A = this chain, B = another copy of it.
Amino acid sequence: MVTSPARLIALDWGSTRLRAFLLGSDGTVLASRQSEQGASTLSGEAAFAAAFEAIQGDWPALPVLACGMVGSQHGWREAPYAPCPADAAALARHALKLHQRFWILPGLMHDGALPDVMRGEETQIIGALARHPELAVQCCLVLPGTHSKWARVEAGRVMGFATHMTGELYALLRQHSVLARLMPADGTPAPSSGAFVAGVDAAREDGGLGHQLFTVRTLGLFKRLPPEHLPDYLSGLLIGHEIAHELASGAPARLAVVGDPALCDRYAQALGRFGLDAPLQLDNTAPAGLWRLAQTMGL
């Protein structure tokens, strides 16, 4: 087996998790590790340094490039946001040199009527464009999650983006709200594509999110949906409202969904209810983005 020599340690360091990749001289992933020492679990430089040492382990002392919440106000050190529009070169210019062999990438800021921010997703976007250069011409990239991002790309630049708190609202309502009492305990037993689609379709009617959320309760109360299907209906409502808002000013010509495959499948299904073709789906583009940005920086 021929493997390229190790060349870069790439860190995708989010709020709740740290993912480390040992990348070869052609950008391939030679090895990967993961720990629960996300940025939100750590406080102070020493804690971050120790978490890095632990995950680096016996890997060689290569240049390190990190993206994500590690560069936030409450991270290892703050790497101020780069402004939109931004391409790989702009992100590279804003990288923060932590020490001789360690750089932290900036997040991205879009200052419209109200400001919006991302940290980590800008690197996933660069990775998606690196893996699918045809997307760089013009596309809309959807990165679903706790705080879903919808980013518009033109000529390799992120022109602007919007965040939706879809995943966080789901978790709050699933765990702490009056709706939670009608649902089975945690987990998603008996996933129901039908209930999910019913939620998406309700959202397409645009009854107002704060109003439609209450229908999770009433549909359960009148036994029109069984308790085990209510989480999927809630998920459909929330994802449907996100999509309805983003498509309000017209559907993008080219759309791709980036992230966890199961979640991307949900978005693909929901987009289909809005009449869109199946989008391109991409998983785990952070290593490709870190590699591309490391090359741009000359690491």
A-to-B contact residues, CB < 8 Å: 73, 113-117, 147, 162-166, 168-169, 172-173, 175-178, 202, 205, 207-215, 217-219, 221-222, 224, 238, 241-242, 244-246
Contact = CB atoms under 8 A, between A and B. Distances in A.
B176 A213 contact: no
Among A114, A164, A202, A245: residue with most chain B CB under 10 A:
A114
30 contacts: A73-B221, A113-B205, A115-B215, A115-B218, A115-B222, A116-B214, A116-B215, A147-B178, A162-B207, A162-B208, A163-B214, A164-B208, A164-B211, A165-B211, A165-B213, A165-B214, A169-B213, A172-B172, A172-B177, A175-B176, A176-B176, A207-B245, A208-B241, A208-B242, A208-B245, A208-B246, A209-B241, A210-B241, A211-B242, A211-B245
A202 B112 CA distance: 12
Nearest to A245: B208
Q: At the interface, is chain A mostly helix, strand, loop or mixed?
A: helix
Nearest to A205: B113
